[in-house]
Amino acid sequence: MSHIHRFAGVVAIAVLVSACTYQTTTRPTAPQKVYTDYDTKIPGKVALVVDAAKMRQEVTGCGSHVFPVDAREPMRISTVNALENIFESVELLEAKPANFNAGTSGYNILVIAEVESLDVDLSIERGFWESDIESDAEIEIAFTADTPAGRQVGGTLQGRDSALSGAGQACEGGSVAVGQSVEKSMARTLTLLAERLGNSARLREAASSR
């Protein structure tokens, strides 16, 4: 009977360990450098709408451990941080402003960025004494930039980056790797967005002729 009890205890511990959830932390980012062919920012006031719903998901790895990610608000704030490098004024809104197409909304540019996907993959690098967890994150976004005269630029782009952390005793280190990889991927993606918009001659000309 004691053997049965011991076996049941081992099974219970295994179930608990395999079902661990480690919350991740993702902070807003800002590009270190945005490269454009111009010395000046794009003039006017930008209405920015960011759909970051897909920046919330559960990442599973290191067995069946779960690493919940909620980077919706950091993504919104980070998009503002990135676009402030190329626009004179950026205001984050929940939806397209009324009367924008008529040119009476108070904004001369409307930028919409929608997260199409967030993919995070975990892998374990086993060492002799301890193991590391590597997290690889890729973000894909679709974007448009309009003026009251119409569409000026649009497209899709992807940013990818990774992070490495010690696994810890029960893979808890994966939460650090996941959070950091999402942050780095976010910064890379939004730097690309700022550069794409900042280098658009058509957008600059339309904004200057308001």
Find tokens 């200057």 and name the residue: 208
Task: Return the pLDDT at 23.
Answer: 84
Q: What's the pLDDT score for residue 3? A: 45
79, two tokens: 């998009």
Q: What is the pLDDT along the chain (210 residues), one digit of tens a residue?
A: 444 444 333 333 344 445 599 889 999 999 889 999 999 999 999 999 999 999 999 988 777 889 999 999 999 999 999 999 999 999 999 999 999 998 999 999 999 999 999 999 988 777 667 788 899 999 999 999 999 999 999 999 999 999 998 877 767 777 899 999 999 999 999 999 999 999 999 999 999 986
Judged by DSSP in three states, 202 sits in: helix
Place of tokens 């590009």: 31
**Contact in structure between 177 and 161 (CB atoms under 8 Å):** no
Cβ-contact 163, 133 below 8 angstroms = no
Distance CA(186)–CA(180), nearest Å, equals: 10
Looking at residue 210, its pLDDT comes to: 64
Quote the tokens at residue 140.
Answer: 């894909």
Backbone angles phi, psi at 208, to 5 degrees: -75, -20
Contacts of 136 (CB under 8 A, 6+ apart): 120, 121, 122, 123, 160, 161, 162, 181
Question: Whose CA is closest to 72, among 32, 108, 115?
Answer: 115
Give the model's pLDDT for residue 95: 96
